[in-house]
Amino acid sequence: MQKIEAVIQPSKLEAVKDALVEIGVQGMTITEARGHGRQKGHTEFYRGREYSVDLLPKVKLETVVSDDLLDKTVQAIITAARTGTIGDGKIFVTKIDDAIRIRNDERGELAL
């Protein structure tokens, strides 16, 4: 099994979620995140004091899929999340050794 971690633009979350469900990837977990990278931040002023904000709002989406679904999933995310502008984010892939469904002890791919 592979774990796909995608850091995307918050505005793309809905689209990506739908795209995944589309290709049959039901399970996913989302967390709010802040990102730093090439995308340049912005400055804010409070009572004249300047704050340069370089940690920008992102959403981190994690989904664990069976190896055969990997490429399809990655592709789906890319297509749905891409705007073509800097800051679109990244996808990271790692191997998962085991997965368990808490509800009923199902293990491995069964648990996804």
Ligand X SMILES: Nc1ncnc2c1ncn2[C@@H]1O[C@H](COP(=O)(O)OP(=O)(O)O)[C@@H](O)[C@H]1O
Task: Using CB under 8 A, list all residues that contact other proteins.
Answer: 10-11, 13-14, 32, 34, 42-49, 51, 55
Taken in order 31, 91, 11, 88, the sign of the CA dihedral is positive
> Is residue 7 involved in binding ligand X (CB under 6 A)?
yes
- Return the residues of window 46-65 that contact ligand X according to CB under 6 A: 56, 58, 62-64
Which residues face 13 on adjacent strands?
Answer: none
When the beta carbons of 37 and 67 are compared against other proteins, the nearer one is 37
Give residue 23's identity as a one-letter amino acid code: I
Q: Which stretch binds ligand X (CB under 6 A): 11-19, 35-43, 45-53, 69-77?
A: 35-43
**DSSP letter, residue 107:** B
3-state SS assignment for residue 54: coil
Specify whether the CB–CB gap between 63 and 91 falls below 8 A: no
Total interface residues for ligand X by CB under 6 A: 22
- Report the partner that residue 81 touches, choosing among other proteins, a second copy, ligand X, none (CB closer than 5 to 8 A by kind): a second copy
